[in-house]
Structure 1
Amino acid sequence: MTTVGILGGGQLARMLALAGAPLGLRFLVMDTQPDACAGQFAPLLVGDYRDEDALAEFASKVDVATFDFENVPAESAQWLSERVPVFPNPRALGLIQDRLAEKTLFRDAGVPVPEFADVTSREGLDAAIAAIGTPCILKTRRLGYDGKGQFRIRPDKAGATADDAWDALGAQAQTVGLILEAFVPFERELSVVAVRGRDGEFRTWPLTENWHVDGVLSASLAPARVDDALSTIAFDHARRLAERLDYVGVFALELFCHGGELLANELAPRVHNSGHWSIEGAETSQFENHMRAVLGRPLGATTMRGHACMLNWIGELPDADAVLQVAGGHWHDYGKLPRPGRKVGHATVRRDSAMELAQVLQRVGESLGRQDQVAPVVDALERSHS
Structure 2
Amino acid sequence: MSTNIGRRTLLRGAVGLAAAGGVAGLLDLGRAASTDRTNTSGRLRIGYLPITDAAPLLVAHHAGLFAPGVVDDVRPVLFRSWASLAEAFVTRQVDVVHLLMPMALQLRYSLGSAVRVLGWNHTNGSALTVAPHITELGQLAGRQVAIPFWWSIHNITVQQMLRAHGLRPVIRQSASQSAGTVELVVMSPSDMIPALANGSIAAFTVADPFNAAADLRGIGRIHRFLGDVWREHACCALLVHEDLIDRNPTVVQQVSDSLVTAQLRIGTDRRAAAEALTAGYLPQPLPAVTRALTYPEPPGTIRHPQWHPQRIGYQPFPFPSFTEALALAMHDTVVDGDTRFLSRLDPATVHADLVDDRFVRTSLVRVDGTAAFGLPADLTRIEEVDPS
Where on the TM-score scale, by shorter chain, does this alignment land: which range? under 0.3
TM-score by length of 1: 0.26
Structure with the higher fraction of residues in strand conformation: 1
> Structure 2 length normalisation: TM-score?
0.26
Q: Which has the larger radius of gyration?
A: 1
Q: Which has the higher contact order (CA 8 A, sep 6+)?
A: 2
Relative to total residues, which structure has the larger helix share, 1 or 2?
2
